[in-house]
Amino acid sequence: MKRDEKKQYFAMFILIMFLGSTLAYALMSVFVPETEEKKLLFEGPLLSEDEAVYFRQNMIVLRYYYQPDDETSQNMFPVVKGMIDELGGKIIIEKIDIDEYKEVYENVESRIDFDEEKSLPTILLRGYTEELLQGEVDSDTLFEKACSLYFEEIDECFLAD
C-alpha cells in the first residue's frame, strides 16, 4: 500500500468517525428524555454544603419550621410553596418538622432575633444574609424579604416593582 493511499484511508476513517458521532449526538437528543426538573422542595434540612451549591447559582433557601398539628402552619404552607412560582424557581424550600428535627430548631431558637412569644410557623430565609420571620406572614412580605436576599438581582423581583 502506498503512502498516499494510507493517508486517504486515514482521512476517510476520520470523516466516518466525525459523521458517526454527529449522527449519534442527533439521535440521543431526539430519543433521550429531558432530565427531571430541579428539585426545589425538600422534607427536612439540607447540609450546608448542599445549600452552598444553590447559593452559587444565585438562589436562596427558605427553611420552613412547623408542627404538623399546628393549624397556622398548615394554612401558611401554600403561601410558602407559592414562592417557587413567584420567584421563578430561584428558591429552595426546606420543610422542617420541629418535632422530628428538634436540634435544628434549637439553633433557630437560640438566635438573638427569635421571639418566644410569637407562634409557629418560623421561616428562616438564607441568601446574601439571613432574615427570620415568625408567625403568619402574608405573601407580599415574604416576597419582599426573599428578594432582598439574592446575591444578584433577579428579574422576578425587579419586574414586580
**Could you tell me if 25 and 54 lie in one domain?**
no
Output the furthest CA–CA distance in the chain (Å, rounded): 92
Alpha carbons within 13 A on the beta-carbon side of 20: 6
**Cell 476517510 -> residue:** 12
CATH of the domain at 54: 3.40.30.10
**Domain count along the chain:** 2
- 106 and 135 assigned to the same domain: yes
Please give the single-letter amino acid code of residue 121: P
Q: Do 128 and 85 fall into the same domain?
A: yes
- Are 58 and 134 in the same domain? yes
Judge if 8 and 50 occupy the same domain: no
Range of the domain at 2: 1-34
What's the count of helices (H) and strands (E) in the chain, helices before strands?
A: 6, 5
Per-residue pLDDT of the chain (161 residues; tens, 9 = 90+): 677 788 888 888 888 888 878 877 777 766 655 444 578 999 999 999 999 999 999 999 999 999 999 998 999 999 999 999 999 999 999 999 999 999 999 999 999 999 988 878 999 999 999 999 999 999 999 999 999 999 999 999 987 55
Query: The pTM is what?
Result: 0.75
Are 69 and 4 within one domain? Answer: no
